[in-house]
């Protein structure tokens, strides 16, 4: 049987659709303001103590790519991501593939 509009949409992969505690923790840290994300090369009003390097996370589900990136930053003891970027690739079958990346950094403590 021929399809006029391409192959049927794929269902999300099992490993990407499961409720991952690591992603949930990353989401809570981000929404609670514990991990900062900016698109600029520095954090306004804060000094950077050290950089851990480029981190990248990709997924067919945007939330998994975004919160996976935050989870990677937390894994290396970073508390911010600078120079954040995201990209979407479109596949012929209609799937979207998300890439989120940035530089994981540790910020200097705020002086009181």
Closest by CA to 10, choosing from 94, 88, 89, is: 94
Q: State residue 26 phi and psi, 5-degree precision.
A: -60, -40
Which pTM does this prediction carry? 0.79
- The answer to whether residue 55 is domain-embedded is yes
The residue segments making up the domain with residue 92 are 21-107
Kindly tell me the sign of the dihedral angle through the C-alpha atoms of 81, 50, 56, 83.
Answer: positive
Kindly tell me the sign of the dihedral angle through the C-alpha atoms of 41, 50, 58, 13.
Answer: negative
pLDDT-derived band at 17, boundaries 50, 70, 90: very low
pLDDT at 91 (0 to 100): 84
Domain containing residue 91: CATH number: 3.30.110.70
- The answer to whether residue 66 is domain-embedded is yes
Contacts of 41 (CB under 8 A, 6+ apart): 82, 83
pLDDT-derived band at 11, boundaries 50, 70, 90: low
- The answer to whether residue 2 is domain-embedded is no
pLDDT at 72 (0 to 100): 96
pLDDT at 67 (0 to 100): 97
Give the tokens for residue 21. Answer: 């505690």
- The answer to whether residue 5 is domain-embedded is no
CA 9 to chain centre: 24
Question: Distance between CA 76 and CA 92 in Å, rounded?
Answer: 36
The total of structural domains in the chain comes to: 1
């Amino acid at each position: 049987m021929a399809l006029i509009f391409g192959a049927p949409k794929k269902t999300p992969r099992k490993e990407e659709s499961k409720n991952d505690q690591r992603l949930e923790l990353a989401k809570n840290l981000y929404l609670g303001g514990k991990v900062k994300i900016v698109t600029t090369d520095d954090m306004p009003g804060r000094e950077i103590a050290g950089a851990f390097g480029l981190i990248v996370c990709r997924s067919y589900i945007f939330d998994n790519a975004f919160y996976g990136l935050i989870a990677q930053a937390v894994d290396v003891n970073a508390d911010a991501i600078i120079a954040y970027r995201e990209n979407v690739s479109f596949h012929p079958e209609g799937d979207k593939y998300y890439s989120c990346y940035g530089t994981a950094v540790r910020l200097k403590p705020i002086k009181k």
